[in-house]
Amino acid sequence: MMSQRVAGFHHYNGLPLWFNLVLIAMALSGWCAFFVYKYYNRHRAVFPEQTKIEHLITKEHISIDPFPGSILLVDQWGAVLKANQQALAQFGESIHAVMRHPSVRSVLSATLQDKTNYPAEEQNLAYETTFTLDVPVRRTLHVILKKVRGTESAEASVEACVETCVLVSLSDRSEAQAVDRMRMDFVAHASHELRTPLASLSGFIDALHHGEDGMSPMVRKQFLAVMSQQTDRLKRLIDRLLYLSRVQAHEHQKPQKIVEVSDVMASVLDEIVPRFQEKENVLNFRIDDELYIRADEDEMIQVMLNLVENALRYARKGQEDILTVTVFACKATEDEEQWPMIGGLIIGVEDDGKGIEAHHLPRLTERFYRLNEEDRSQQPGTGLGLSIVRHIIDRHEGRLRIKSVPNKGTRCMVWLPPVKGL
């Protein structure tokens, strides 16, 4: 009996045990292959377009990398199948947020609508929309969607699936929109600033023309004096606008000349001293020796003149008060102002005048911005001085900081990067 059990253990149906195990393994493998095949076919039946698009991309070698701009290839559900390098670099993971945006989903739906009953020239139109995306940063995007049409060389099944494949072109219009908004604001402000002196001149000319016979010489002289003032104001405004335009035109060209700060301050002193002699003001210069910057000398002189002129015009507390203005230049040895780097130098102007309220400080470099809009017609400036300063400093890769305490004074500081090799 023992020998029969052993024999039964090693044999089944007259075959060795190892052979039976091999047969069982082959049968199991066949069943597994059958179930995998059935699952794959079922998957293709549920997502036929996805499978065919992937086949098209690989077989027909569709590549979106050569396309200019940010280009995506999406399926009919808005899932991103491909993205070129520029799209990945510009939008990163936010590409998926773009495709999920309601405006894009609406346009995608319109793009995928059946156009077979339309005339040939109206089929496969491009759809576009502009919308604001709030994540990860707020920006304005423009999107153009267009169905990819089949080609004669493509298989019939492949050509049919192409109707659910959409090319998406993305463009960020945030900067262009901001520039347009600034341009419209600039035109509006410039028109207002030009209209005011022109209206004044027109009124006085009309008064002189119609009242010439009965107008006394004294009144005529007063009219002519006001007209002269308005003409000078108009000339200053036009000159500042032209100067600002020139500065902006070459703002991207960085200065290469090495300039000694003491030479800049000497030119500033020559122009400023006569103005201080007209008024009872105190002017101090505190300039360190051997300070050098890589700069456009004329532009740096203009920066210092604008800062000093602002102190003279707006800092005085009252007509009887004596204003003290200090022009300074020193090395930036401390980083108390959180400059871009330790080093370089600081030039600037400070006064002990009436100061500026905190809510005005962020807007001081805007074009035509005034601290007191009600008295703008009485102020001699153009409202462009600090805007010119900002653009010049940007060209020199510097930074502008303005600190002020009401009734104590204002300090304007310009940080300029160090000159390498000196």
Class level of CATH domain 252-422 = alpha beta
CA-to-CA dists, residue 183 to 176, 180, 241, 256, angstroms: 10, 5, 13, 30
Lowest mean pLDDT: which of 87-96, 153-162, 285-294, 384-393? 153-162
User: Is pLDDT at 345 greater than 70 in this prediction?
Assistant: yes
Q: For the segment 136-193, what is each residue's pLDDT rounded down to a tens digit?
A: 667 888 898 888 764 433 343 334 444 578 889 888 887 777 777 767 766 766 776 7
Name the residue type at position 99: M
pLDDT of 380 higher than 70: no
Reported confidence tier of residue 62, pLDDT bands at 50, 70, 90: low
**6-20, 155-169, 284-298, 328-342: lowest mean pLDDT where?**
6-20
C-alpha distance across the termini of the chain, in Å: 107
Confidence of residue 379 (pLDDT cuts 50, 70, 90): low
Question: CB–CB of 418/407 below 8 Å?
Answer: no
**Average pLDDT, integer, range 1-15:** 45
Q: CATH classification of 178-249, choosing from 1.10.287.130, 3.40.50.1100, 3.40.50.150, 3.30.470.20?
A: 1.10.287.130
Torsion over CA of 352, 353, 357 and 360, rounded to 10 degrees?
-100
pLDDT per residue over 68-78, tens digit each?
788 888 888 88
Q: What is the residue whose two structure tokens read 């919308």?
A: 131
Between 25 and 216, the higher pLDDT residue: 216
Q: What is the pLDDT of residues 80-110, one digit of tens each?
A: 888 888 888 888 888 888 888 888 888 888 8
Looking at domain 49-172, its CATH architecture is 2-Layer Sandwich (3.30)
Residue 104, burial from CB neighbour count under 10 angstroms (0-12, 13-18, 19+): buried
What integer is the mean pLDDT of 201-208? 80
Could you give the C-alpha distances from 265 to 260, 296, 304, 327, in angstroms and in order? Answer: 9, 14, 8, 8
Tell whether the model's pLDDT for residue 211 goes beyond 80. no
Instruction: Please choose, from the candidates 354, 348, 266, the residue with its C-alpha nearest in 3D space to the C-alpha of residue 306.
Output: 348
Q: What pLDDT does 206 receive?
A: 81
Cis peptide before 136 (omega within 30 of 0): yes
Whole-number pLDDT of residue 22: 54
Burial label for 189, CB within 10 Å (0-12, 13-18, 19+), is: middle
- Whether 234 and 194 have beta carbons less than 8 Å apart is answered as yes
pLDDT digits (tens, 9 = 90+) for 29-59: 666 555 545 544 443 333 333 344 344 444 3
3-state class percentages of the chain: helix first, strand second, coil last, to nearest 5:
50, 20, 30
Measure the CA–CA gap between 361 and 189, rounded to whole angstroms: 19
Closest CA to 377 of 241, 237, 245: 237
What integer pLDDT is reported at residue 257 of this predicted model?
92
